Copies of this chain bind each other. A is one copy, B any other.
Amino acid sequence: MTRIAVLGATGYTAVELIKILLRHPNTEITALTSREDTRCVGEVHQSLAGRLGLYLENLTPEQIADRAECVFCCLPHTASAKVVPALLARGVKVIDLGADYRLDSPSVFEKWYDSPHPDAARLGQVPYGLPELFRSRIKESPLVANPGCYPTSAILPLTPLVKAGLIEPEGIIIDSKSGVSGAGRKPKQTSLYVECNESIAAYGVGTHRHLPEIEQIISKGSGRAVQVIFTPHLTPMDRGILSTIYSVPAKPLTQDEVLDTLRAFYKDEPFVRIVEHLPATKDVSGTNFVHISARLVGNRVITFSVIDNLLKGASGAAVQNFNLMFGYEETTALV
């Protein structure tokens, strides 16, 4: 039984995480934190009513370390990096669902997040929590940087194709469509029902913080310097990301070669499925699965990938990493 603390328990990734952990035979949730909210978690998230009696608390790293062997951080950027050193120093393992440890370079972090990094020395040493690419490092590390939702949907289809030399590493266009839960639970006009419903629009064109993450990880995973254009869109649905990705073939190839390369790369992966049909976000909604397909049209390779942004794009991946870090079966509580 591993004792678990969830830091920042008021949001959408936290409630999904808690639901998975309640299904997990080897975990016990012992602390939930919030800086301001002190209600019972069943009031903060009505879906947990009667399922978990914990109250939210404002705890120090020391108090957290006394209660938990593993900490999941669901915190705004820079907030994780302020508590992670103290937690690691006390022997607690950490999975950071935020962005603090995803980028390798402190200056790149500072440029995209408008803030100096509070734990800059550690950058570059933290494995990126995508088991499909970095499983062995994840198993051995006390700290894992859980991937961003959009990056997961882009990195998984692209890395094998770039690595195999099937597509050019430059001029890749990632047109992503995400459900609204990705915008978080903080009240703001752009997240209101009436603003989002019955409407689709692009946002953050050329400026979204997941862009450098995507480029860094595909480059690292494939061994080639990758440059992408990334256009996220807010789509009227709770959850799900579809990334439609356009790339240029690096040599003459067929659609089957593309699909076979993906199949071979992911043949032993428990959560990745290469499918013939065009995948819909609903196919993986509520699951930790990734469905990927591809088409060859007009001298472009078009790949399609779908994930549930709150699960494989956040809390599901986090538990997958947790299972690896603590020696549990990788799929526990996830299928």
Interface residues of A (CB under 8 A from B): 12, 22-23, 43, 46-47, 49-50, 173, 175, 177, 179-181, 185, 187-189, 191-203, 205-206, 227-229, 231, 233, 235-240, 242, 244, 246, 273, 275, 277-287, 291, 295, 297-298, 300, 302, 304, 306, 335
Name the residue among A177, A197, A284 with the largest chain B CB count within 10 angstroms. Answer: A197
| Chain B residues, Cβ within 8 Å of A22 | 335
The answer to whether A180 touches B199, judged by C-beta atoms less than 8 angstroms apart, is no
State the 9 A-B residue pairs at the shortest beta-carbon distance, nearest first: A199-B282, A201-B280, A206-B297, A187-B187, A50-B273, A193-B196, A180-B193, A46-B283, A175-B175
Q: Can you name 18 A-B pairs with beta carbons within 8 Å?
A: A12-B194, A46-B283, A47-B285, A47-B287, A177-B233, A177-B235, A180-B194, A187-B192, A191-B194, A192-B192, A193-B197, A199-B240, A201-B278, A201-B282, A201-B304, A227-B298, A236-B236, A286-B286
In the bound complex, what is the Cα–Cα distance between A320 and B192 (angstroms)?
29
Q: Is the interface of A mostly helix, strand, loop or mixed?
A: mixed
Residue on B nearest A197 in the bound complex, by CB: B238
| Chain B residues, Cβ within 8 Å of A194 | 12, 180-181, 185, 191, 238
Interface contacts beyond A47-B287, A200-B242, A231-B244: sample of 9 additional A-B pairs, CB < 8 Å, sorted by A: A46-B283, A49-B275, A50-B273, A192-B192, A193-B238, A197-B197, A197-B238, A200-B281, A235-B236
The answer to whether A297 touches B185, judged by C-beta atoms less than 8 angstroms apart, is no
In the bound complex, what is the Cα–Cα distance between A298 and B12 (angstroms)?
33
Whole-angstrom distance from the CB of A168 to the nearest CB of chain B?
13
The answer to whether A280 touches B227, judged by C-beta atoms less than 8 angstroms apart, is no
In the bound complex, what is the Cα–Cα distance between A65 and B295 (angstroms)?
43
Whole-angstrom distance from the CB of A281 to the nearest CB of chain B?
5
The answer to whether A240 touches B200, judged by C-beta atoms less than 8 angstroms apart, is yes
In the bound complex, what is the Cα–Cα distance between A177 and B284 (angstroms)?
20
The answer to whether A229 touches B193, judged by C-beta atoms less than 8 angstroms apart, is no
- Residue from B46, B200, B275 in contact with A177 in the complex, judged by beta carbons closer than 8 Å: B200
In the bound complex, what is the Cα–Cα distance between A46 and B197 (angstroms)?
15
| Chain B residues, Cβ within 8 Å of A179 | 198
| Chain B residues, Cβ within 8 Å of A196 | 193
- Residue from B203, B279, B284, B297 in contact with A278 in the complex, judged by beta carbons closer than 8 Å: B203
